[in-house]
């Protein structure tokens, strides 16, 4: 089966990219930091190997931004309209991009694999019972599919 390719980009269309293959895992994060950054109720991030995200038009600016962990994150934004396209966190380093699912042209194809930090979930958000949900963070070995753990293992830190 050919790998799925989903295109995405910013609002002004100066930056366009494509995500090649299935994400390793998709986080729906309900932490207060993600709520503030999105101006909404949660962030939806598809974790994928950095080399599986290819720019097809334009380039991004990388903005150092504080993060919940205290170790910081680098947010890649369109230099023109400033929409955030993906982040790199200190934990996974440059080898894994956290693609903001809402910037994909077809975000419906990338639903969450887990809800995290539900301890600060906004009370009106009702979660589907068939998707795992944890009050804070989780153990990768417990939730990730074997295939994703193996892909992740191959990454050079
Ligand atoms: Zn733009
Ligand atoms: Zn968060």
pLDDT tens per residue across all 157 residues of the chain:
788 999 999 999 999 999 999 999 999 999 999 999 999 999 999 999 999 999 999 999 999 999 888 899 999 999 999 999 999 998 888 999 999 999 999 999 999 999 999 999 999 999 999 999 999 999 999 999 999 999 999 986 5
Looking at the CA of 77, name the nearest ligand: 1
> 155 CA distance to ligand 2 centroid (A)?
23
Decide: 131 and 113 in contact? Cβ < 8 Å: yes
Q: Is 72 left (phi over 0), alpha (psi -120 to 50) or beta?
A: left
- Ligand that comes closest to the CA of residue 103: 1
- From the CA of 143, how far away is ligand 2's center (Å)? 18
Which residue carries 């080898």 as its tokens? 95
Asked if 19 and 5 count as a contact pair (C-beta separation under 8 A), the reply is: yes
Residue 2 CA, ligand 2 centroid: distance in Å: 32
DSSP 58-119: S--EEEEE--TTSS-EEEEE-TTT--EEEEEETTTGGGEEEEEGGGBS-GGG---SEEE-GG
Q: How far is CA 150 from the centre of its chain?
A: 19
Closest ligand relative to 67 C-alpha: 2
Task: Report residue 95 as tokens.
Answer: 């080898």
Tell me, in angstroms, the distance from the centre of ligand 1 to residue 114's CA: 29
Q: What are phi and psi of 75, to 5 degrees?
A: -100, 125
Ligand nearest to the CA of 116: 2
Tokens of 129: 């019972």
Residue 130 CA to ligand 1 center (angstroms) comes to: 35
Find the 154 Cα to ligand 1 centroid distance in Å: 33
């Amino acid at each position: 089966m050919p790998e799925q390719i989903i295109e995405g980009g910013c609002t002004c269309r100066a930056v366009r990219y494509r995500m090649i293959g299935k994400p390793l895992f998709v986080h729906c994060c309900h932490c207060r930091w993600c709520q503030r950054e999105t101006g909404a109720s949660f962030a939806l991030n598809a974790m994928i190997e950095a080399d599986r995200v290819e720019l097809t038009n334009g380039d991004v600016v990388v903005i150092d931004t504080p993060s919940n962990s205290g170790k910081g994150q680098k947010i890649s934004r369109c230099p023109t309209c400033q929409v955030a396209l993906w982040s790199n966190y200190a934990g996974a380093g440059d080898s894994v991009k956290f693609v903001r699912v809402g910037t994909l042209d077809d975000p419906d194809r990338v639903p969450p694999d887990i809800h995290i930090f539900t301890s600060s979930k906004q009370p009106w958000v009702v979660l589907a019972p068939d998707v795992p949900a944890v009050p804070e963070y989780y153990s990768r070995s417990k939730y990730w599919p074997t295939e994703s753990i193996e892909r992740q293992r191959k990454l050079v830190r």
